[in-house]
Amino acid sequence: MQVLGSILFSMMVILNTIVFGLVCCFLVFFPFHARAKYARPYAQFNVWLLKVLCGVRYEIFGRENIPERGSYIVFSNHQSTWDTFIAQLIFPPISFVVKKELLYMPIFGWVLAIFKPIAIKRSSGSIALKQLIAQGIARLKDNIIVMIYPEGTRIPPDTKAVFKKGGAILAEKSGYPVIPVALNAGYYWPKGGFFKKRGLITVHIGKPIVSEGRKAKDIMLDAESFITSHIEPARYE
C-alpha cells in the first residue's frame, strides 16, 4: 500500500502543480498578498494528500510563539519538500530565500517567481549577501515574512550541517525577530526519495529570538541551539 500510495501521491502532486501553475499566470496581475492567499490551498491539498495516500501525519508545537502582528524572519532546518508546504500553512504571507537557478525550471520556476522569492546566486559571495539583506529588509517592511533555511539545502536526518550566516546578518541589520523552527519530515519524505514512510512529522516553533542590538553570531547560535535540540527521532507507524 505504501508503494501504491507513493505513486498516486506523486501523480497527484504533478497534476496539482500543473493546474496551479496555469492559474498563477493570471495571478501576476494581483497584489502580492492576494497571490499569497492562493498558495495556501495548493500547499494544504498536498499535505492532505500525503496524509490520505501515504499515512504521513503531522503535529505542530509552539504555535503560541508566533507573533500576532508584524513581520519576522523564520529560520528552519530543511530535510524534505514537505517543509516548504507546511511553511505556507503556518507563516503566510511568506517569501522564501531560494537558489536563483530554481527560477529557470519549467512551470515550478515560473510559479515561484510570482510569489516574490529572494532569489540569490550563492556562488556570487558578497553580492548575494547584499542582495539578501536589501531584498529581505524590503520584504519585511512590506509585512512579508522571510523564510530562510540556514543549512542552504535539504539535509538528511541525523546529519550535521553548518548553518550559513546570511540569515543571521539579515536579522542583525534589520532588527526583526527570528522564529526558529525544527522539524523531522526527512524521515518520512526523504530528499531524493520516491517512497514515503508512514508516521508522524513533528514541527516545533520556538519563541522569538531578539535581533535588535545583537550580533549575527549570537542570533545564529540561539537559533541553531533551539533547532538542533528539538528535532525529534522518527516515529514510524
The answer to whether the beta carbons of residues 140 and 146 sit under 8 Å apart is yes
Per-residue pLDDT of the chain (237 residues; tens, 9 = 90+): 789 999 999 999 999 888 888 887 788 788 888 888 888 898 999 999 999 999 999 999 999 999 999 999 999 999 999 999 999 999 989 999 988 888 887 777 777 888 889 988 877 778 889 999 999 999 999 999 999 999 989 999 999 899 999 999 999 999 999 999 999 999 999 998 889 999 999 999 999 999 999 999 999 999 999 999 999 999 999
The answer to whether residue 224 sits within a structural domain is: yes
Exposure b/e, 71-91, CB count within 10 A at least 16 = b: bbbbbbbbbbbbbbbbbbbbb
**What's the pLDDT score for residue 83?**
97
CATH number assigned to the domain comprising residue 191 = 3.40.1130
The answer to whether residue 235 sits within a structural domain is: no
The answer to whether residue 206 sits within a structural domain is: yes
**What's the pLDDT score for residue 5?**
95
The answer to whether residue 131 sits within a structural domain is: yes
The answer to whether the beta carbons of residues 136 and 211 sit under 8 Å apart is no
The answer to whether residue 171 sits within a structural domain is: yes
Q: Name the pTM for this structure.
A: 0.92
The answer to whether residue 236 sits within a structural domain is: no
The answer to whether residue 237 sits within a structural domain is: no
The answer to whether the beta carbons of residues 181 and 205 sit under 8 Å apart is yes
The answer to whether residue 119 sits within a structural domain is: yes
The count of domains in the chain is 1
Residue 217: which domain range? Answer: 2-229
Q: What is the DSSP letter of 99?
A: E
Q: What's the sign of the alpha-carbon dihedral 157, 224, 162, 81?
A: positive
Query: Which parts of the chain are beta strand (E)?
Result: 56-61, 73-76, 94-99, 118-120, 145-148, 178-183, 199-205
Query: Which parts of 38-184 are beta strand (E)?
Result: 56-61, 73-76, 94-99, 118-120, 145-148, 178-183
